[in-house]
Amino acid sequence: MKPTVVYALAALVSLLVFVPGTPSDVQTVFQFGSGREFIRIPNLPVPSLVTIVLLTVVLAGAAVWAFLRHRARRPLNAWWHVLVGVAFITAFLTYVGAGRSSVIPMVSLLAGALALSVPLVFGSMSGVICERSGVINIAIEGQLLFGAFAAALVASAAGSGWVGLLAAPVAGAAVGALLAWFAVAYRVNQIIVGVVLNTLIIGLTGFLFSTLMSDNKALWNTRMPLPRLPIPVLSEIPVVGPVLFNQTILVYLVYVLVAVLQFMLFRSRWGLRTRAVGEHPKAADTVGIKVNTRRVLNVILGGAVAGLGGAFLTVGSGLAFGREMSAGQGYIALAAMILGKWNPKLAVLAALLFGFSKNLGNVLSTIGSGVPSELLLMLPYVITIFAVAGFVGRVRPPAANGTPYTKS
């Protein structure tokens, strides 16, 4: 029933807010070109009110269809969620851009959304690896921050962003090793350990930033950006080319990581054993799987993955390290993992949703939208609260998640 309610709410917002607030004699201009494609797409002006009315009809029709499917006890295809999401976002963009002299830069909107999603994807993949093994990884925030710190520090000292990129997963793995040591070896409450590690890393990096880095920025905290690596031909495809195929190595690693983890988790012996120790460790132990050893190794691996996400905050974005620059993204990554039901491909979609909502506020403030950007910037955190509160529907974590295993 929840999709029906969500669809109906989207239709009501469009009908009660977007339609009355849009003049009937203005247009909204969408820009799909960036100037780098081999095929130039001209700006697309659309009649604002007519477009919003049509999209409102689509949203209302989707709500009716979802209600009928629910009454017939038939599942709703996932593509309906995509359709409703695209229709609602398009209606919103048409509403905020109606009659303004500036255009809505779709390539910048999508490219920025992808960039803001990269740390969240790495963090959510780290959470999937750890929690599928039965260990709650609240320390993703600390792993992202320590990875960002190590990448900036080593890259600046070595004079190469590539060297800093190698240091980031090592730093993240070190935090993961501490988590595994306390959670697995000493069976300390995993949530408490994760929170303590986050606090430890915030304090440690803050201290080193204010002393070591601030004393000699030229040596220890110089910007060392990774170069963009455009893929020939693909990077020149209209719209998707500049967004997906003109990126740094870290973005390409995201594509590979998600595909490999999805395959390994559900189609390999490693994935079967990982899911076994997360669902029923005693049964896994009886067939010869070393439960705690596998948990330790996977938590360290998850920490290394999160460390790569931290590297994107510094060398991947061409920025110097800043105090607490992870800014709660580790917790949003956890929400993306929960929203994605501990499945890599679904967690990526959730991370992209968070990244898009955050970048939407940046773009709308740039074009002078009347919508307060602060409301849009808080949207990822609101979605995070709803996700962990179960508003998105019933989600079931691995049965032994957070439960230490003692061999009897």
pLDDT, one tens digit per residue, over 145-165 is 999 999 999 999 999 999 999
Q: Which residues of the chain have pLDDT under 70?
A: 1, 34-40, 100-101, 370, 373, 383-384, 386-394, 408
Q: pLDDT exceeding 90 applies to what percent of the chain? A: 57
* 30 in Cβ contact with 46 (< 8 Å): yes
Residue-level pLDDT at 391: 54
**pTM for the structure as a whole:** 0.91
Which residues, 6 or more positions from 123, have their beta carbon under 8 angstroms from its beta carbon? 140, 143, 144, 306, 309, 329, 330, 332, 333, 334, 336, 351
pLDDT, one tens digit per residue, over 222-267 is 999 999 999 998 888 888 888 899 999 999 999 999 999 999 999 9
Segment holding 364, helix H or strand E: helix 344-366
Tokens 């962990």 -> residue: 388
Residue-level pLDDT at 388: 59
Residue-level pLDDT at 394: 67
